[in-house]
Amino acid sequence: MDLAKYGPWALIVGGSEGAGADFARLLAADGFKLVLVARKPEPLAELASELRAKGAEVRAVPADLADPAVLARVRAATDDIEIGLLIYYAGANNTRGNFVELPEAVTQSVLQITVLGQANFTRHYGGLMAARGRGGIVLGGSLSSYLGSPTLAAYTGAKAFSRIFSEALWAEMKPMGVDVLHLNIGFTATPAMARLGMPVELAEPTATVAREGLENIANGPVWIISTPGNLERARMISGVEDRAETVLRHAIVPRDQTAAAARELQELAKEG
């Protein structure tokens, strides 16, 4: 990763475990200094120690992205340094239910983390990058950004926002010297998914997500992780016609059907 274009500091929001930790390891190996943000202090401290032992300078910021004051908290740890790379990769969904029946706090948190969070962090750090004429922004995305799924209305809607927002930003910021990428992933083997009891043995390793994200930062606005089946699914669910049929047939399945769906995706990939 080009330290002169995207350094000297990278801010990884969601940078304690899963793909966020892999981003941090890859960037530290390339000489980046790191600011890591996540809620649980222990995994954050553990990763920071691991990276410091390898010579990296690291600031760890325990903070909750659902808190509307989170940007101020993170800024307190970054206002004296140059963030040349923002990776915003947090906000997996762990609560499903009909939108009108879920507690308001659940859906507000989804919108705060993915919609307002991505917008607010991008405005602040992207503005500073534009003033310097260089930098990069990677926003965490999902194949679910192509299709509204029942019981996941706020989550799938928020991911759609992220993808469309990234596309517009990509075009706006390219002439400013700043690369923007919506990193679009499918089912990925993260600790968050494992804690939900999902069959992570069938999922993409997080190291692939981080490596492809960094390698393709200049190939925006959207990069779909190259796992067989991802591109085929994106094509299948993103057409403009027959939306009713598409939603009814291809929405994200309930968690106990995830393994069967992952296998079906692998078959789809084999058929090309």
Ligand X SMILES: NC(=O)c1ccc[n+]([C@@H]2O[C@H](COP(=O)([O-])OP(=O)(O)OC[C@H]3O[C@@H](n4cnc5c(N)ncnc54)[C@H](OP(=O)(O)O)[C@@H]3O)[C@@H](O)[C@H]2O)c1
Active centre residues (catalytic): 155, 159
Structure tokens belonging to residue 39:
């809620």
Cα distance between residue 259 and residue 202, in whole Å: 7
CB of residue 145 to ligand X, shortest distance in Å: 9
According to DSSP, the residues that pair with 204 across neighbouring strands are 188
Min dist CB 243 to ligand X, Å, is: 21
* 42 C-beta neighbours (distance < 10 Å), count: 10
Q: In the bound complex, what is the minimum distance in angstroms from residue 170's beta carbon to ligand X?
A: 18
List b or e across 111-125, with b for residues whose CB sees 16 or more CB atoms inside 10 angstroms: bbbbbbbbbbbbebb
d(CA 261, CA 249): 12
Nearer to ligand X, 65 or 83 (CB): 65
Measured from each CB, the residue nearest to ligand X is 14
Q: Smallest distance, Å, CB 229 to ligand X?
A: 13
Q: How far is the CB of 203 from ligand X (least distance, A)?
A: 6
Question: Which C-beta is closer to ligand X: that of 43 or that of 220?
Answer: 43
Reduce the DSSP state of residue 180 to 3 states and report it.
strand
Tell how far CA 136 is from the center of its chain. Answer: 14
Enumerate residues 6+ apart whose C-beta is below 8 A from 10: 23, 24, 27, 32, 33, 34, 35, 83, 84, 85, 86, 87
- Nearer Cβ to ligand X (67/167): 67
Nearest residue (CB) to ligand X, 39 versus 174: 39
Residues that bind ligand X (CB under 6 A): 14-20, 37-40, 43, 64-66, 89-92, 113, 140, 142, 185, 187-188, 190, 192-193
User: CA–CA separation, 253 vs 30, rounded Å?
Assistant: 39
Question: Which residue number, 92 or 237, has a Cβ lying nearer to ligand X?
Answer: 92
Residue 226 contacts by C-beta under 8 Å, 6 or more apart in sequence? Answer: 208, 212
